[in-house]
Amino acid sequence: MSTTVATEARTPPRIRLAAAEDAAVVLAIRDEAIRSSSGLWIDEVPDPEASRSWFEAQLEAGSMLVAEDPGPSAAVLGYASFSPLRDYAGYRFTGEDSVYLLPEAQGRGVGTALMEALVTHAREHGMHSLVALVESGNTGSIRLHERCGFREVGRMPEAGFKFGTWWDLVTLQRLL
């Protein structure tokens, strides 16, 4: 998969709604982010049943997009989704976004294409704003969001704890 991705660098990806057959790659990307990054403050990779329910909830909500390689492989390169910022009814028009790519797909515009599509998709869903909660050292994600019209609206020191250390949180928002 990585070879195909590398040779087709810079061609804009195709963006589409996630479908059931994307489960394996989406969950592999998410599991790896949980295992090795400060992006998702979850300590343990969830068991397969919990992962499956998380993915199915995204499909049911119609709130997940995937980017696929524009070449013949049509390999999935990453996903973006939104879910209510909190479970309380008053937050139903405020979505928290999530965007994760395979390592070999990063740094060539795929995240920007996904986030621009997610903004349109969330607006069409009737959302009023999107919010990103980003670890403060994740300059790639902060830059991506700023490039897509998000503005920093807050910083919270030591909001997260993972890998035995504290992490600061940056909040960015885009009104839709």
From 13-21, 85-93, 139-147, 161-169, give the range in contact with ligand COA by CB under 6 A. Answer: 139-147
Contacting range for ligand COA; rule: CB under 6 A; set: 54-62, 96-104, 116-124, 167-175: 96-104
**CB closer to ligand COA, 9 vs 175:** 9
State the minimum distance, in angstroms, from the CB of residue 113 to ligand COA: 7
CB of 72 vs ligand COA, minimal distance in Å = 21
Helix H or strand E encompassing 170: strand 165-175
> Please, which residue, 83 or 112, has the CB nearer to ligand COA?
112
H helix runs in the chain, sequence order: 2-7, 23-36, 48-61, 110-124, 139-147
- What's the gap between Cα 47 and its chain centre? 20
Pick one of 18, 34, 144, 176: the residue that binds ligand COA (CB under 6 A): 144
If residue 14 lies in a helix (H) or strand (E), which one and from where to where? strand 14-17
If one asks whether residue 174 binds ligand COA (CB under 6 A), the answer comes out as no
Count CB-CB contacts under 10 A for residue 116. 15
- Contact call for residue 172 and ligand COA (CB under 6 A): no
In sequence order, the β-bridge partners of residue 175 are 129
Q: Up-side HSE of residue 150: CA atoms within 13 Å toward CB?
A: 28
Is residue 111 a contact point for ligand COA (CB under 6 A)? yes
CA distance 66 to 115: 10
Give the residues lining the site for ligand COA (CB under 6 A): 33, 39, 78, 99-101, 106-112, 134, 138-141, 143-144, 147
